[in-house]
């Protein structure tokens, strides 16, 4: 089927949201008032008794972020459009917080998108200024919990894979923000038809740590244009310009 015929079957609203994502993000500097700095709050569900496996939680976080960015409510005339675009077009940040029990249930009442993968749950919230965070979210702790990586092999060839550089020693919260950046970049880089297919899967993806040999191969793919990389701004934990996550499309 010709590309034009395929693309004509894609919902115009989804195509417009994808086009916005494909334009990239950032570009604007921080406002003079620190309280107006824009950030996406991410809530990671980490029960005390049975905590999730680290990479499954990161996969849920990555999927939640891209699901929000392509949600119809961030599109033209949507309830979240202004808040989303204000964040996306500024110097964006993501802040991961942990929750359990009643805290997690309360987070579901704040505008956002929740994704569950492999028993792990994460919620990406509609961005806004850091000086006006919902009290139910502001009280949640940032960091402080580490999780076991579990068994490798969460990368399924049919779905996008997000490879993390373990040499950087990122915390769960930092890594969650980085895979969220990666899922946004990858979705924007995909042709709209492939992005729509990914959306139909619930933005299923895999997260794993790359050994040094694989990391070198992945970097070559970035140079060749068949993968995308996140380079951190260096606000926390890692040096500016560090390549933290490399994302590859599914089926390749």
| Burial classification of residue 101, based on how many CB atoms lie within 10 Å of its CB (0-12 exposed, 13-18 middle, 19 or more buried) | exposed
Task: Check residue 169 and give its pLDDT.
Answer: 86
Task: Check residue 141 and give its pLDDT.
Answer: 93
In which residue are the tokens 């119809």 written? 72
In which residue are the tokens 């579990």 written? 150
pLDDT mean values, one per 10 residues, the chain (252 residues): 46 96 81 91 94 93 98 98 94 92 98 94 97 97 75 72 91 94 96 96 94 94 95 69 91 56
Pairing of strands 38-45, 94-99: parallel
Task: Check residue 1 and give its pLDDT.
Answer: 31
Contacts of 229 (CB under 8 A, 6+ apart): 182, 185, 219, 222, 243, 245, 246, 247
Give CA–CA dist 158/174, Å, rounded: 26
> Partners of 98 in the beta sheet?
44, 141
Task: Check residue 186 and give its pLDDT.
Answer: 97
Identify the CATH number of the domain defined by range 9-248.
Answer: 3.40.1490.10
Q: Transcribe 84-126 into DSSP letters.
A: HHHHHTSS--EEEEEE-HHHHHHHTTSSEEEEEETTEEEEEEP
Q: For the chain, which residues make up each domain, given as ranges?
A: 9-248
């Amino acid at each position: 089927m010709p590309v034009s015929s395929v693309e004509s079957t894609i919902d115009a609203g989804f195509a417009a949201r994808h086009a916005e994502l494909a334009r990239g993000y950032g570009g604007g500097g921080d406002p003079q008032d620190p309280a107006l700095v824009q950030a996406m709050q991410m809530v990671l569900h980490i029960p005390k008794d049975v905590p999730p496996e680290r990479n499954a939680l990161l996969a849920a976080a990555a999927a939640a972020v891209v699901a929000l960015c392509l949600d119809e409510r961030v599109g033209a005339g949507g309830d979240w459009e202004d808040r989303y675009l204000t964040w996306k077009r500024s110097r964006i940040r993501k802040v991961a917080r942990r929750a359990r029990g009643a805290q997690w249930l309360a987070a579901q009442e704040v505008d956002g998108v929740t994704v569950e993968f492999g028993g792990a749950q994460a919620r990406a919230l509609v961005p806004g200024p850091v000086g006006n965070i919902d009290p139910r979210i502001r009280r949640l702790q940032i960091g402080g919990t580490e999780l076991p990586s579990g068994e490798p092999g969460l990368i399924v060839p049919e779905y996008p894979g997000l490879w993390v550089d373990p040499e950087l020693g990122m915390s769960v919260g930092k890594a969650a923000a980085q895979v969220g950046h990666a899922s946004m970049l990858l979705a924007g880089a995909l042709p709209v038809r492939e992005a729509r297919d990914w959306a139909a899967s619930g933005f299923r993806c895999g997260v794993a740590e790359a050994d040094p040999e694989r990391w070198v191969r992945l970097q070559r793919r970035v140079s060749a244009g068949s993968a995308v990389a996140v380079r951190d701004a260096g606000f926390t934990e890692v040096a500016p310009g560090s390549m933290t996550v490399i994302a590859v499309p599914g089926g390749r």
